Amino acid sequence: MAISDVKEYTHLTPEEVDQIGRELDQIRADIEESRGAADAAYINRMIRIQRGLAAGGRAALAYGSWSKKGRRPAVVAGTAMLGLAKILENMEIGHNVMHGQWDWMNDPEIHSSNWEWDTAQPAEQWKHSHNYVHHQFTNVLGYDNDIGYGVLRMAREQRWHPVYLGQPIYNALLATLFQWGVALHDLDLERIRKGEKDPREMKRQLKQIGRKIRRQIGKDYLVYPALGGPGWLLTIKANAAANLARNLWSYMIIFCGHFPDGAMHFTEEEIQDETREEWYLRQILGAANFEGGPLLHILSGNLGFQIEHHLFPDLPSNRYAEISERVRALCEKYDIPYTTGPLHRQYGQALRTIMKLSLPNHLTKSDDPAPPEPPRDRRRKSDAERPARRTELGGWSRTSSHYAESDRGHN
Amino acid sequence: MPVKDAVRTVPWERVRSLGARLTTPLHPDDYLSLVNPLWSSRELRGRVEKVVPETDDAATLVIRPGWGWHYNHRPGQYVGIGVQVEGRFQWRSYSVSSAPTRSGRTIAITVRAMPEGLLSSHLVGGLEPGTIVRLALPEGDFVLPDPPPPRMLFLVGGSGVTPVMAMLRTLDRRGSMPDVVMHYSSPTPERMIFRDELAALADRHDGFTLHSLHTDLDGMLDLADLDQICPDWRERETWACGPGPMLDAVEEHWEAAGIEKQLHLERFTLQLGGDGGEGGTITFRNSGKNIEADGATTVLEAGEQAGVGMPFGCRMGICHTCTLTLVSGKVKDLRNGDEFGQPNEPVQTCITAPVGDCTFDI
């Protein structure tokens, strides 16, 4: 069984699949060829705006916490600017830089190898769990840990358990505490619970997370409040509000990427001997776009072009809009489903799935036809069991090797 | 004055690391450089203050470096310069031609436009004053010793004059010009960089003798003629800088005389420390080529020998242009001994050597 047996693809001949692959390769080549000064100016402008918002927001909050006059508008404006800055940093800048979308500029200050983002998860672990595990194995059960993030049951193929009755609550918690959920994501709690995780690797990751969290919490909840003097409590509240806004927003955008109706799940059997062309097809069928204006797309890190992002994770995000026109035309030509809709509808569908799948399958009806369900090993895979990474997903390397780590321990 | 002392002893690194508590995960410099591009020591930067034409195809760039720059380069060293062309930073190394001065606020590099050299042409012809460039700290051991030896010989070809110029300017500024003979080859008088300044130096200092050779008219220097030009060349400490073939000939000539210890060459190649890897066969998967490489040969050099179109930039581990995907096998960073061997790990080929067999995606 291969992806060619998935119902949505059975009408394609092998020659057509190859042709689709060539056409998508051509889109990549055209964009790579035309990357230039205007793209570099775009990301630099975005970074300037984001840092300006962050600095302006902090300044407004400082003013608000020291001065009685005009406190309210200053705090409201400061919180909004800070929240916006965090959203921009995580979505349009951090996520995309860490994919290697801007590595071509050869600028070490905007490079996937050393970008660190303003959230609790260390960049290195994000690049592993996201660039590799999620992007290469998109929506493959047992391989892609992003299906429900180990907390939610998001596919009918996942076995039901009474614990999923609490799913609406878990969902609300995940949305509120999203950055902390993401921080623990690469640890893979499921494998830890089953005792399958290498304890040395776990210790290394925990240390890394601890270091990052100390700095993040120190900044928002100790240092700035301390500088806020009489308004320290106000500062804590404002910073928490900015973080919460970022959590809710990024949670919603991310849930619109793979959980609306029409975004399919795949099985281990379907990715056996998968060719590059088939990988492309799986990305189209496993992702969902949403529609909106340029500002919405920038604030969502251009993830409204989730399909294009999954086809070309390392091409600059400002080009996804023009890529989407070509991808959509290609999908129409070959009768391949292209899932998109307004943001509220896409998120509404994801939310409906969360509610429905909290119950056993026989109590609810599927909203999209599920692929046939052969018996399978439901266990979470380790890297050793996953195929080696693809190169176009954005790099991921560890800061130090095991022996270097232990050397340092002796000092 | 206690106040002045306090100012002088401000521990800037401590202040910066305290500031980083406010800006984490970014650095304070990431914000400050938005106010003034030179206010960052994360990546060394400089602003081009002046572009002075030297000849038709060469120009001197006067650059004002930003934070983190120490004006203590040794005369003869080179710096890396990164310029954004079409959105992409391109890196090259050029010798500093200005003399090091503590009071100075600028450095000068002199660049000759090469017919096929995208960046050198851009630097000579297309760089506006005010442009912000990236810099890499001075490196290289082709330097003037302090104190200088009593008798020196400079053999220079073309734009190889720049590091030597920094040495001569230093000797001139210190007023300690020893017995120096310089032989300078250039295709034509017009293409001779620093022609007037060198002539003035020769006028001013009795110890400085300049021989110019215009190779378009008179042909290349035959090293056998050295015995006439500078009969005591065997007793002199010699610095040679110029095109590769010239340096090869010089090296051979000095070795034949058994005095290669007195010869300093500038080839613009990376000096690597460490023990090297153990070597192995490197396979370039997409081009279907492979080559046997020892542990001291970088993957980049090996790839070039094998005829693979390897990407490269600074060739010293700064710019990441050369980064390729290591599909399998292991490589060692020749600078510090770190090993990289995760499957499909991106590695910098200019500073790594194979540890056993490995495969690259190119």
Domain ranges of chain A: 3-410
Q: Do B86 and A52 touch (CB under 8 A)?
A: no
Which chain A residues are within 8 Å of B346, Cβ to Cβ?
A: 113, 395, 397
Which chain A residues are within 8 Å of B88, Cβ to Cβ?
A: 40, 104-106
Which chain B residues are within 8 Å of A89, Cβ to Cβ?
A: none
Could you say which of B21, B338, B361 has the minimum Cβ distance to residue A391?
B361
ipTM over the 0.90 cut-off: no
Percent of chain B with pLDDT over 90: 46
Q: How confident is the model at residue A367 (pLDDT cuts 50, 70, 90)?
A: confident
Q: Do B88 and A389 touch (CB under 8 A)?
A: no
**Distances B22 to A54, A277, B15 between C-alpha atoms, Å:** 11, 47, 11
Q: Does a cis peptide bond (omega within 30 degrees of 0) precede residue A230?
A: no
Can you tell me the mean pLDDT for A248-275?
92
Residue B6: per-residue pLDDT: 45
Structural domains of chain B in order of their starting residue, each with its CATH number: 1-35 (no CATH), 36-139 (2.40.30.10), 151-266 (3.40.50.80), 280-360 (3.10.20.30)
Residue A6: per-residue pLDDT: 75
List, for residues A59-118, the tens digit of each pLDDT value: 999 999 999 899 999 999 999 999 999 999 999 999 999 998 998 888 878 988 789 999
Looking from the CA of B82 toward its CB, the CA atoms found within 13 Å total: 24
* B15 touching chain A per CB within 8 A: no
Can you tell me the mean pLDDT for B159-165?
91
SS3 B47: strand
- pLDDT exceeds cutoff 50 at B273: no
Residue B263: per-residue pLDDT: 95
- Euclidean distance between CA atoms A19 and A26, whole angstroms: 10
* B340 touching chain A per CB within 8 A: yes
Provide the shortest C-alpha distance from residue B280 to chain A (in Å): 21
A97-111, A370-384, B284-298: range with lowest mean pLDDT: A370-384
Q: How confident is the model at residue A2 (pLDDT cuts 50, 70, 90)?
A: low
List, for residues B93-111, the tens digit of each pLDDT value: 788 988 877 667 899 998 8
Whole-model pTM: value is 0.83
Which chain A residues are within 8 Å of B42, Cβ to Cβ?
A: 109
Q: CA-nearest residue of chain B to A405?
A: B338
* B179 touching chain A per CB within 8 A: no
Lateral strand order in the sheet of B179-186 = B208-214, B179-186, B151-157, B237-241, B263-266
**Distances A323 to A209, A304, A312, A327 between C-alpha atoms, Å:** 36, 12, 9, 6
List, for residues B124-134, the tens digit of each pLDDT value: 887 889 999 99
A122-136, A378-392, B20-34, B326-340: range with lowest mean pLDDT: A378-392
Measuring CA to CA, which residue among A281, A85, A233, A257 is closest to residue A154? Answer: A257
Q: How confident is the model at residue B215 (pLDDT cuts 50, 70, 90)?
A: very high
